[in-house]
Chains A and B, each alone.
Chain A
Amino acid sequence: MEEPPDSPRIGVDEWVASVEGKRERYTGIRGAVLQGWDRLPAPARVLVFAIPAALFPFVTSQGNVFRYGLFTLVYALLALGLNIVVGFAGLLDLGYVAFFGCGAYLYAILASPQFGYHWQAELAIPVVVLATAVVGLLVGLPSRRLLGDYLAILTLFFGQAFVVFVNNANRISFPFVGHVDLTGGSNGIANIDPFNFFGYKIDSTMKQYYLLLIAVALVLVLLMYMNESRTGRAWRALREDPLAAEVMSIPVNRLKLLAFVFGAAVAGLTGAIYGTIATAALPGDYDVGLLITIYAIMILGGFGSIMGIVVGAIIVSSVPELLRSSANARPLFYGAILIALLVKVRPWRLLAAQLAGLVAFGFAVHAIAAAAYPRLVDGESIGSGFLPRGLDHWMLFPKNPVKIVDVAYMVMIAAIVIYPQLGRLWRAVLLPPLLYLVMFVWENLLLVQIGGATRLILLGAVLVVLMNVRPQGLFGTATVEIV
Chain B
Amino acid sequence: MNWSLFFDLTVSGLTLGSLYALIALGYSMVYGILKLLNFAHGDVYMIGAFVGWYTLHALGGPLNPTISGAAVLFVMFIVSMVACGVLGVAIERFAYRPLRNAPRIAPLISALGVSIFLQNSALLIFGAGFRDYGTFDLIGVKTFNIGQLFFSVTQLLTVVLAILLMIALTVFVARSRLGKAMRSTSFDREAASMMGIDVDRVISVTFFIGSALAGAAGVMFGLVFGQIYHFMGFIAGLKGFTAAVLGGIGSIPGAMVGGLIVGLAESYATGYLPQGSTFQNLYVFALLILVILIRPSGLFGKAAITKV
Contact = CB atoms under 8 A, between A and B. Distances in A.
A152 interface: yes
Interface in A294-338: 295, 299, 303
Interface string B269-308: 0000011001101100100110011001000000010111
Contact of B113 (A160, A462, A479): A462
A154 B292 contact: yes
B265 to A, nearest CB: 14
B112 A292 contact: yes
B238 interface: yes
B152 interface: no
B275 A168 contact: yes
Contact of A468 (B101, B110, B288, B306): B110
A312 to B, nearest CB: 13
B108 to A, nearest CB: 7
Interface stretch (A350-358, A372-380, A448-456): A448-456
A288 B115 CA distance: 12
B124 A453 contact: yes
A299 B114 contact: no
B245 interface: yes
Interface in A13-56: none
Contact of A148 (B104, B125, B281): B104
A: interface residue count bin: 35 or more
Interface in B214-239: 234-235, 238
B113 A463 contact: yes
Contact of A152 (B106, B108, B242): B108
A4 B110 contact: no
B281 A164 contact: yes
A415 to B, nearest CB: 12
A445 interface: yes
Interface size class on chain B is 35 or more
A190 interface: no
B99 interface: yes
Task: Give the interface centre of A4, A158, A299, A467 by most chain B CB atoms within 10 Å.
Answer: A467
A149 B110 CA distance: 14
A409 B106 contact: no
Given A145-B293, A154-B288, A467 B113 contact: yes
Given A164-B279, A292-B112, A467 B234 contact: no
Contact of B281 (A4, A160, A299, A464): A160
A471 B103 CA distance: 8
Given A453-B121, A456-B116, A6 B190 contact: yes
B79 interface: no
A161 B283 CA distance: 10
Interface of A: 1-8, 86, 90, 92, 142, 145-150, 152-154, 156-158, 160-161, 164-165, 168, 171-172, 243, 288, 292, 295, 299, 303, 406, 409-410, 413, 417, 445-446, 449, 452-454, 456-457, 459-464, 467-468, 471-472, 479
Interface of B: 31, 35, 37, 90, 93-95, 98-99, 101-110, 112-121, 123-125, 188-190, 234-235, 238, 241-242, 245, 274-275, 278-279, 281-282, 285, 288-289, 292-293, 296, 304, 306-308
